[in-house]
Amino acid sequence: MARDVDVAALVSGIRDGRRAAVSQAITLVESSALRHRVAARELLATLAEQPPATPAVRVGISGVPGVGKSTFIEALGIYLTAAGHKVGVLAVDPSSVRTGGSVLGDKTRMAQLSADPNAFIRPSPSAGTLGGVAAATSQAISVLEGAGYDVVLVETVGVGQSEITVAGMVDTFLFLTLARTGDQLQGIKKGILEIADVIAVNKADSESGAGVDRAVEARAAARELAGAMRMVRGPKEWAPPVITCSGLTGVGVDDVWARITAHREHLGEQGLLAKRAQQQLDFTWSLVRDELLDRLRRSESVAAVREEMSAQVLSGKLSAPAAADLILAAYDESTD
């Protein structure tokens, strides 16, 4: 990216829906360089001045390993673009925290959707923390919406905390699972069932293998999960529907979208606004925590005590709470 960013030109390109401008803008919001962060804030503030007339549909998608997320997302994306929607796909990938890179596999697997002029696919950014990845993804959503994408699908590549993170930036959270995973509930944490708004049993292909019809199995798994959901959710809460689909054949993909829109209607206009407002407040504090952590890392006073403190903790001479107090005291001295 060029050293000096022409924010006005970038905003104009985004408004015109130019893919190169959208890519450049997302790269900008992903960057940790100070000069880029300043430009990114200006960019996002300018885009916020003219929000879309109708809020885009934000959907988080996660699933058990091997569930076929990429195949399903491509099928859903193709269905939506055929219906006249513009679809953006983003991925939150915790592995980039460890490797410093992005996973490009999903983009290469979704070859047909990647070639669709009404779709935009972006793998997750490189970032130092999951919070950093989430911050970049949240801001990338704003860029896509500014470019006229009215449906944004946010995929979690990893499992665990990334799912909770994604749920905090979308309107509806879709959880994909499979039949024939041993116990149907095995490996599905209660926390996932608590944040899921729609559950779909994928690979219900009506193909027989070893004398077993996968569509029949999928329906049985859906019934079992529906029973589990009744125990997890209260009687007055949204009851997440549990349905079957096949990303491979496209069967049931329209039903999944219908359930997503039903959940959005359940939220209502005011409910949606309230949910997004709370998400923005939570995001604010997340940014504050990330910035404070970054300042701690860059503090010369903290660097001066870090080596000795680390040695004492490793040798057992200093407890973690006491070490934390030393770090904070050193930082406080540098800010006085």
201-211 pLDDT, tens digit per residue, is 998 886 655 44
- Is the Cβ–Cβ distance between 291 and 262 less than 8 Å? no
Cα–Cα dist 23/45, whole Å: 18
Q: How does 205-239 read in b/e, with b if 16+ C-beta sit within 10 Å? A: beeeeeeeebbebbbebbebbeebbeeeeeeeeee
In this prediction, residue 275 carries a pLDDT of 95
- For the chain, residues with pLDDT lower than 70 are 1-3, 93-108, 124-133, 158-160, 180-190, 206-212, 232-235, 336
In this prediction, residue 108 carries a pLDDT of 57
In this prediction, residue 185 carries a pLDDT of 54
Run of H or E residues at 188: none
Domains and CATH numbers, the chain: 1-50 (1.20.5.170), 51-272 (3.40.50.300), 299-335 (no CATH)
Q: How would DSSP label each residue in 32-53?
A: --HHHHHHHHHHHHHHHTS--S
- The pTM score is 0.86
